[in-house]
């Protein structure tokens, strides 16, 4: 699929072309030979128009209150796309019932915890792609993943995680079987990352499903007694293997 260019460039051979794209000819009466053309008057842009585009020179305003308090891990730049490779997880009723038990208990320790809107298992860190890299990047991933077969995994160990910047905390279920298969997937994803000179995944990853999150580093409140109680609440419940 072809895309129209975002920026148009004039041909270097069009030296007779004026700045507005129209060619000037001696006979068109635009100015007489030997006389300088009249200067064009530039009118000021009304304030009402300028105010429609606040901060265009400095870049878009980054208001964390519009994103649940989350803070960017890297600054926004026009033409850059934040990218994350992951395996989506379709939550079943048993999984959601488990979450309804664990989250209210964890909120007694950290009330600001909120439930994840969607569930997944990460296979990469967040990286930045230029727009024209997106299609070849996706094609390379598909080629690398084409030979993989479906497999089962189990996630039944409650753990507390933070992002690298310690600006967000997560309650997750760690994968306890199927780890080797996820490592194989990551190995192929890392090869694609290296092709595009991007950051590869962690050396010793802990594959997990995040259940809930909050802003800030809440490990002190969640680890220890809270974590033990969450694991006890989890025990005794049926944990079916999940097919990927």
Check 76, 120, 132, 179 and give the catalytic one. 120
User: Is 132 considered catalytic here?
Assistant: no
Rounded to whole angstroms, the Cα distance separating 92 from 89 reads: 9
120 belongs to the catalytic site: yes
Output the CA angle 214-122-119, nearest 5 degrees: 55
Neighbours of 77 (CB within 10 A): 11
Residues with Cβ within 8 Å of residue 145, at least 6 apart in sequence: 185, 188
Q: Which of 111, 119, 90, 130 is closest to 211 using CA atoms?
A: 119
What is the per-residue DSSP string for 90-137?
---HHHHHHHHHHHHHHHTT-TT-EE-SSEEEESS--EEEEGGGHHHH
Angle at 141 between CA 137 and CA 142, to 5 degrees: 120
Catalytic residue numbers read 120, 208
């Amino acid at each position: 699929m072809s895309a129209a260019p975002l920026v148009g460039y004039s041909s270097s051979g069009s030296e007779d072309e004026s700045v507005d794209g129209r060619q000037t000819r001696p006979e068109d009466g635009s100015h007489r030979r030997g006389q300088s053309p009249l200067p064009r008057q530039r009118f000021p842009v009304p304030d009402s128009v300028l105010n429609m585009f606040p901060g265009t020179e400095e870049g878009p305003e980054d208001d964390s209150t519009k994103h649940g308090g989350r803070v960017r891990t890297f600054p926004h730049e026009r033409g850059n796309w934040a990218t994350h490779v992951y395996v989506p997880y379709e939550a079943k009723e048993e999984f959601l019932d488990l979450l309804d038990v664990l989250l209210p208990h964890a909120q007694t320790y950290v009330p600001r915890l909120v439930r994840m809107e969607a569930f997944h298992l990460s296979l990469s860190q967040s990286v930045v792609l230029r727009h024209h890299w997106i299609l070849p990047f996706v094609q390379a991933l598909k080629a690398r993943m084409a030979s993989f077969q479906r497999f089962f995994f189990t996630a039944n160990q409650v753990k507390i995680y933070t992002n690298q910047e310690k600006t967000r905390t997560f309650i997750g279920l760690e994968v306890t079987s199927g780890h080797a298969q996820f490592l194989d997937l990551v190995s192929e994803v890392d090869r694609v990352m290296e092709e595009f000179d991007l950051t590869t995944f962690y050396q010793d990853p802990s594959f997990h499903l995040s259940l809930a999150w909050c802003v800030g580093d809440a490990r002190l409140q969640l680890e220890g007694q809270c974590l033990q109680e969450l694991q006890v609440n989890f025990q005794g419940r049926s944990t079916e293997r999940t097919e990927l």
